[in-house]
Amino acid sequence: MTTTRMRRTTVAVATVLLGAAAGCSGPQPEPRTAAVPAGRPHEAVRSAPSSVGGAAAAPTRGFTLVASGDVLPHASIIRQAQADAGGAGYDFRPMLSGARPVVSKADLAICHMETVYGKEGGPYTGYPSFKSPPEVATALAATGYDSCSTASNHTLDDGAAGLARTLDALDKVGIRHAGSARTAAESARPTLLEAGGATVAHLAYTYGTNGIPLPQGRPWAVNLIDENKILSDARAARTAGADVVVVSLHWGTEWQTAPDRQQLSLGRSLTASATGGRPDIDLIIGTHAHVPQAYEKVNGTWIIYGMGDQIAGDMINYNGAFDPRGNQGTIGRFTFAPPASPGGRWDVAKAEFLPTWFNTGTGRVVDLTAAVKGGENLTPVRDRIQQVVLSRGAAKDGLVMGE
């Protein structure tokens, strides 16, 4: 947890997960040129539940969780970070500063780190084979993120070495991670985090790795989407102590605002699964499509089919044209209420979305709700994102635009 934050989230020492391929659309070459590290993670010891007459008492404190979309440092983003550092190194904190007020106030914040990190000092590359500066991790910690999904189609862009460097860098700044692993033992452990009165498991999976095979002898290196495995991992996380299970899925069809057939089918199956009358999964958060997609409550569980990009360069779609939707996104915010009795489900008492936009001209994340409220002429962008988010009837189930 970074020293810049004032929230009561303690991250458990348990890390990572249990243990097709269109690449991300890249930006065209652009003519323009455009920290304080977090402390090491420390072990969190859960207090034994209080009891009266031998019966465990239900938790009394809920928590807020926020989740955001793809962090995708194209070459232009790397140049911007170098400029923001004054030409000496890379500083990604300014470009994320617009998200920090929302992220840092949550009890638990989850990001999606789509790319892997290069060696200290570089070289660093953008699309199509990414190697990002490890200073991205410092910025994510300073913004307030607790855990990042690391399973994507770019997880193996620099092989097992790139995967390991990325997880090492996240560990160094105190950010937990889910979806890729350096060892078999690491892949077999669920990522457990403490938020409010709950233990939250974060699991993550990707549809593929752009045709790059898993490292030889390391079938556990990246979690691939498999319904049976996801459910098995979710149940194992419950056994390990998780009160709430959150699943990050890198899925869907790029540039398509509507969820595709696989998203709809898998979403229905995962949310329908229950053990002992309790759903196995409590929240699904999606990435990969590069455009905002709908939120929907399915079988009583919220699904964000796609949050869009949080950070990316000028995005070029499959028609070879600049597509402004590629710099639009959402932050999902969910307030979980404790169960009325021990062992019950932590229900979402309030579901919100916050529309965001990455201004490639200034290299900054923009909170559109705050910007419009402040008088900026961004109402059409905000309203378009809202239309997409609510396109599958989420408003009737209580989803609202947050501030």
Give the pLDDT of residue 187: 98
> Are 120 and 161 contacting, i.e. CB atoms less than 8 angstroms apart?
no
Q: Chunk the chain into consecutive blocks of 10 residues (it has 403) and report each block's average pLDDT, rounded to whole numbers.
A: 39 37 43 30 33 57 97 98 95 98 98 98 97 98 98 98 98 98 98 97 98 97 98 98 98 98 98 97 98 98 98 95 97 96 94 98 97 97 98 98 95
Residue 48 lies in a domain: no
Residue 41 lies in a domain: no
- Cis peptide upstream of residue 49 (ω within 30 degrees of 0): no
Residues 6+ apart with CB under 8 A from 395: none
Residue 316 lies in a domain: yes
Q: What is the identity of the amino acid at 233?
A: D
Residue 34 lies in a domain: no
Give the pLDDT of residue 55: 52
State the total domains in the chain: 1
Query: In what helix (H) or strand (E) does residue 365 lie, and over which residues does it extend?
Result: strand 364-367
β-pair partners for 193: 11, 200
Sole residue written with tokens 């408003």: 395
β-pair partners for 278: 275
Tokens (6 digits) for 260: 């595709």
Instruction: Provide the CATH number for the domain around residue 164.
Output: 3.60.21.10
Pairing of strands 191-195, 198-206: antiparallel
> Are 74 and 63 contacting, i.e. CB atoms less than 8 angstroms apart?
no
Residue 36 lies in a domain: no
Residue 3 lies in a domain: no
* Structure-derived torsion over alpha carbons of residues 355, 361, 364, 368, reported in degrees to the nearest 10: -20
For residue 195, the enclosing domain spans 9-27+60-401
Longest dimension (CA), the chain: 71
Nearest to 27 by CA among 219, 239, 309: 309
Half-sphere exposure of 83 (CA within 13 A, CB side): 13
Q: CA 217, 111, 91, 39 torsion: positive or negative?
A: negative
Residue 40 lies in a domain: no
Residue 42 lies in a domain: no
Give the pLDDT of residue 4: 37
